[in-house]
Structure formats: C-alpha cells, structure tokens
C-alpha cells in the first residue's frame, strides 16, 4: 500500500514539474554557453586521457542540447532517492552505468580498463549509492565521469584494432546506448559499426562550424 501511494506521489510530482517546464533540453545558444563554461575542464581532462577534446564535446553535445534541463535534475534526483536507476547530472549518467565505470576502473583484467587517478575521477573510489549520486550531481565530476566512460569505449575499440577518431558518431552512440546491452552482452568492436540517432546528432555537430568555435579537430 505504501508503495502504491509513493508511486502516485511520484507521478503527481512529475506532472507538476513537467507542467512548469515549457522546454526540454537547451537552446543552441545555451548549449554553446555550457561548453564554453566547461571548456577548460573538458580540455584538461581530454589531455589527461590522451584523446582530443572534440571527441568528448561531440559525444556530449546531443545530451546537453536535447536531453538535459532543470526538470531532469530535479526529477531524476527525486527518483534516484527512491531507488530508481535514474540518469543524473549534466551528462545524464545512469546510476547503474556509474557503478559499472567504478567497477571497470578497479579491474585491470576488464577490456575497458584504463588506469586513472581516483583523486581526479572520484567515481573510481565510490563505495555507496549516496556517494555515487553526490558525484553525478556535481557538474565537474559528472563531466569527468562522462569523459572517462567515453575514453573507456575508445580504448576498448582501439585495443581491438579499430580507431574511432574519424567515427565520432559511433563513439557517441556507444556513450548513449551503452557498451553492454540490457542482456549483458557487449556491443563488441566491429569493422562496420552503425550510429543511432544520438550518434547522428553528434556527427552533425562534428561537421558544423559551431564545433570550430570551441576547439580544433
């Protein structure tokens, strides 16, 4: 019975939040402002990971432009605190994905493993759901966690002999869809990878003049 009333309350809260939000996502100007605000952070993390900054900017562009706004932040945190696997923070990373990243970063035998500092990437050393949530809510740590995930995917494919430097849309697709599907099966590296709609949007941004105003290719 308590669960029933909790679900009604969550549904009502979601309705109120949606009713007070007229736009999902950000405008193009707001999106560019976001990337300019965090440009130094993205570039320094990119250098640390050994991957050009445009990989990350393009992979995150559809998320920031179309999927994230204040409604997401409020509702997703609310759902996460009641046990749902919500997408949290500016980069909309699921709690389960964050746990996966943390596990991979501690397992040298995992094909997605790359060595990073837990002092910089706080997600590596989390020990509780509360810590994970706090990290993803923090914009800087959310971006770093997203960049770490993208780097894990990039190097996984590189180890398999496939360089995605000219396939930003594929890298974005992996970020969006996940490297492991719902059945626990890896979306393994292949010679003819396909993009989803998210990846196509990332590729469109890669080909745009807007990217050049942020960084070099």
Q: Which range has the worst mean pLDDT, 19-23, 57-61, 91-95? A: 19-23
For the chain, the structural domain boundaries read: 2-212
Gyration radius (Cα) of the chain, Å: 17
pLDDT at res. 68: 59
* 22, pLDDT greater than 90: no
pLDDT at res. 72: 57
pLDDT in tens, 181-193: 888 899 999 999 9
Four-point Cα dihedral 194, 202, 102, 53, nearest 10: 120
Tell me which of 198 and 6 has the higher pLDDT.
198
Distances in Å between the Cα of 62 and the Cα atoms of 5, 22, 68, 105, 214 are 35, 19, 9, 26, 15
Per-position DSSP letters for the chain, written without gaps between them: -HHHHHHHHHHHHHHHHHHT---SS--HHHHHHHHHHTHHHHHHHHHHHTS-HHHHHHHHHHIIIII-SHHHHHHHHHHHTTT---EETTTTEEHHHHHHHHHHTT-TTSTT-----TTT-GGGG--SHHHHHHHHHSHHHHHHHHHHHHHHHHHHHHHTT---TT-HHHHHHHHHH-SB-TTS-B----SS----HHHHHHHHHHTSHHHHTT---
pTM of the model: 0.85
pLDDT in tens, 35-91: 999 999 999 999 999 999 999 999 999 999 998 555 556 566 665 566 667 788 899
Q: pLDDT-derived band of residue 202, with 50, 70 and 90 as boundaries?
A: very high
């Amino acid at each position: 019975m308590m669960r029933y009333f909790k679900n009604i309350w969550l549904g009502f809260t979601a309705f109120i939040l949606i009713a007070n939000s007229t736009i999902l996502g950000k405008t193009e100007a707001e999106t560019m402002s976001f990337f300019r605000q965090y440009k130094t952070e993205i570039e320094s993390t990119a250098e640390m990971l050994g991957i050009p900054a445009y990989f990350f900017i393009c992979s995150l562009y559809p998320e920031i432009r179309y999927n994230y706004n204040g409604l997401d932040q409020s509702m997703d945190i609310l759902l996460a605190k009641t046990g749902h696997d919500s997408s949290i923070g500016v980069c909309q990373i699921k709690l389960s994905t964050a746990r996966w990243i943390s596990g991979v970063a501690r397992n040298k035998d995992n094909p997605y493993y790359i060595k990073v500092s837990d002092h910089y990437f706080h997600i590596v050393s989390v020990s509780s759901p509360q810590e994970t949530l706090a990290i993803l809510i923090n914009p800087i740590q959310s971006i770093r966690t997203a960049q770490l995930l993208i780097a894990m995917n990039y190097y996984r494919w590189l180890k398999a002999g496939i360089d995605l430097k000219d396939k930003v849309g594929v890298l974005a697709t992996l970020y969006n869809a996940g490297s492991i599907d719902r059945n626990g099966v890896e979306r393994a590296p292949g010679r003819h990878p396909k993009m989803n709609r998210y990846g196509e949007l990332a590729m469109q941004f890669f080909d745009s003049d807007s990217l050049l105003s942020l960084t070099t290719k």
